[in-house]
Amino acid sequence: MTDPHVKEFQASVTRCLESPSFIQDFYDRFTGASGAIREMFRNTDFVHQTQAMADSLYAMAVAVHGGPDNLARLDMKRLYAKHQRMGIKPEMYDTWLDCLIATARTHDLQFSPAIERAWRKCLAPGIESMRTGRPFKT
């Protein structure tokens, strides 16, 4: 992956996570996207989930920049298994990404079409790994 995309993505993630309501706004948007997603999160501890989401975004920011032995990349297999147990359907990742980007657009004051492309390019390998269970590749 090209360095400018990674740097733009990492900087935007940092700006978004500086906004105290970013993750809550994302989950409001995401759980409002469908009844199936809302039901999946019905009994969720959002204090824990908020930290897990922040950790996941940081991990993805590290994973896209590191090599094949990067710990963030190696953790994708565990996350895939967890998502399978939760019953997450492959098509939900498209909704997740669209909701995440829509939320980033409202929280990152520097958000632009180029930054949106960086988010999509940097998150695509991890999303594909979550959909298929195959190793994370860039």
pLDDT per residue as tens digits for the range 3-24: 778 889 989 999 999 999 999 9
Confidence of residue 91 (pLDDT cuts 50, 70, 90): confident
Q: What is the pTM of this model?
A: 0.86
Let me know how many helices (H) and strands (E) the chain has, helices first.
8, 0
Give CA separation, 107 vs 28, 33, 78, in Å.
14, 19, 30
Domains, the chain, in order of start with CATH, read 3-132 (1.10.490.10)
Average pLDDT over residues 70-94: 77
N-to-C CA span, the chain: 6
Taken as a whole, the chain contains a residue count of 138
Whether 1 shows a pLDDT value over 60: the answer reads no
Between 76 and 33, the higher pLDDT residue: 33
